[in-house]
Amino acid sequence: EVQLVESGGGLIQPGGSLRLSCAASGLTVSSNYMSWVRQAPGKGLEWVSVIYSGSSTYYADSVKGRFTISRDNSKNTVYLQMNSLRAEDTAVYYCARQRVELITGTPPYFDYWGQGTLVTVSS
Amino acid sequence: DIQMTQSPSSLSASVGDRVTITCRASQSISSYLNWYQQKPGKAPNLLIYAASSLQSGVPSRFSGSGSGTDFTLIISSLQPEDFATYYCQQSRSTVTVSFGQGTKLEIK
């Protein structure tokens, strides 16, 4: 059974930093496309970042230059380092596996999600 | 970037009703379109991938169709557990994934 467990959220002042973790079991993060998706209170879903199995990383324009995605293969964990936090970064942050089937060419989709961790940026 | 627009934004329906939610992409995305259901306080749950493929374990009353820019999610006969918010998501580019704004399905 696949499980993704996020941690590291909390209350942080504007301009501060926070690191989120996503511990995976039942899948190997280094062999998968792992993303962070966030949801501001009462709002819709916003994709934040992805790390490919080959280690390439990509970011939404709203977080580029402030957030960094990484992984620790030995811990089977994905991280999101968030710097220069702003009030508009307040959200529940979900870790999700983006299934990519290169051989069949099936369009990618998010099939496993964590339970989310709440980040509140406020003074 | 590809923009996704869902309609309606909210919808009231009764148990047993047939419900249709639409999603339009700002440019052609072929069949790179997925649908998710989200209940309050929970993570999204994949319903449909590749526009029309039913995810394992999802009831057959859910179906999806479309290609190019226009897509549809249909719930053939609403059940009490279907009242939730639904999101479409394009995956034409894994680099810049985007979601629709959501459709909240409420009990009439």
Asked if B49 contacts A107 with a C-beta cutoff of 8 angstroms, the reply is yes
Amino acid at residue number A2: V
Integer Cα distance of B90 and B27 in angstroms: 11
Subunit contact B96:A45, Cβ cutoff 8 A: no
- The pLDDT value recorded for residue B73 is 98
**pLDDT tens digits for range A3-57:** 999 999 999 999 999 999 999 999 999 999 999 999 999 999 999 999 999 889 9
Q: Which helix (H) or strand (E) holds A101?
A: strand A91-101
Least Cα separation, residue A110 to chain B (angstroms): 7
Q: What is the dihedral of CA A103, B54, B108, A41, to 10 degrees?
A: -30
Is the peptide bond prior to B8 cis by the omega test (within 30 degrees of 0)? yes
Model confidence band, residue B24 (pLDDT cutoffs 50, 70, 90): very high
**pLDDT tens digits for range A72-98:** 999 999 999 999 999 999 999 999 999
Subunit contact A107:B95, Cβ cutoff 8 A: no
- The pLDDT value recorded for residue A32 is 95
> Which residues in chain A are closer than 8 Å to B102, comparing Cβ atoms?
44-45
Q: What is the dihedral of CA B35, A32, A28, B49, to 10 degrees?
A: 20
Subunit contact B50:A116, Cβ cutoff 8 A: no
Integer Cα distance of B105 and B103 in angstroms: 6
Q: How many CA atoms lie within 13 Å of A108's alpha carbon, on the beta-carbon side?
A: 22
Which B positions 38-97 lie with beta carbon below 8 A of chain A? Answer: 38, 42-46, 49-51, 53, 55, 87, 89, 91-92, 94-97
> Which residues in chain A are closer than 8 Å to B71, comparing Cβ atoms?
none
- The pLDDT value recorded for residue A107 is 87
Q: Which candidate from A47, A94, A109 shows the least CB-CB separation from B46?
A: A109
DSSP string, A24-81: EESS-GGGSEEEEEEE-TTS-EEEEEEE-TTS-EEE-TTTTTTEEEEEETTTTEEEEE
The mean-pLDDT minimum among A100-104, B1-5, B50-54 falls in: A100-104
Judged by a CB distance cut-off of 8 A, whether residue B32 touches chain A is yes
Closest-CA residue of A relative to B55 is A111
pLDDT of A101 higher than 90: no
Model confidence band, residue B41 (pLDDT cutoffs 50, 70, 90): very high
pLDDT of A103 higher than 90: no
Asked if A51 contacts A34 with a C-beta cutoff of 8 angstroms, the reply is yes
Judged by a CB distance cut-off of 8 A, whether residue A111 touches chain B is yes
